[in-house]
Homo-oligomer: A and B are copies of this chain.
Amino acid sequence: MSKDTTVENVFQNLRSKGLRVTPQREKILQIFMDLQDGNHLSAEDLFKVLEKKNENISLATTYRTLKILSQFGYLRELDFAEGHKHYELNKDKRPHHHIICLNCNKTMEFEDDLINQVGYRIAEEKGVDVVDIQFKIYAICPNEKDDETKTHRS
């Protein structure tokens, strides 16, 4: 799939919703599109990437753009209970899910159709419209299990 076409589609959508397409928004969206599958960035992460590329985009704009792109469904907001959010491209109708190690904070992604099905079934039973389904397993990963001297994530 050509990235440019996809980006341009998004921008047409943004424009049709009365939002403006600015260089800042283009660059930020492109960074998420270039991201490997299963990767995600915090606002601070994204800001550092932008700095490294010498794009002069302020932290405030970084936050504002993340919020807007999430609100309009282009990004998915992830919450790993670390005190800050993470964001990833919201590409598919089948959201993947996460295992978070409480010691090293690393995440592992996985997909599971059953989980999504159950989510939609329950939503229907309760009469709500699904926006996102997030399944998280907080756990201790193998690397960390060995090392019992580690302190628990505060």
Contacts and interface: CB of A to CB of B under 8 A. Distances in A.
A101 B127 CA distance: 11
A110 B122 CA distance: 9
Interface in A107-154: 108, 110, 112, 114-115, 118-119, 122-123, 126-142, 145, 152, 154
Contacts of A88: none
Interface size class of A (residues with CB under 8 A): 35 or more
Interface string A34-77: 00000000000000000000000000000000010001000001
15 contacts: A67-B154, A77-B81, A81-B85, A114-B114, A114-B118, A115-B118, A115-B135, A119-B137, A122-B137, A123-B137, A127-B141, A128-B141, A129-B140, A134-B135, A135-B136
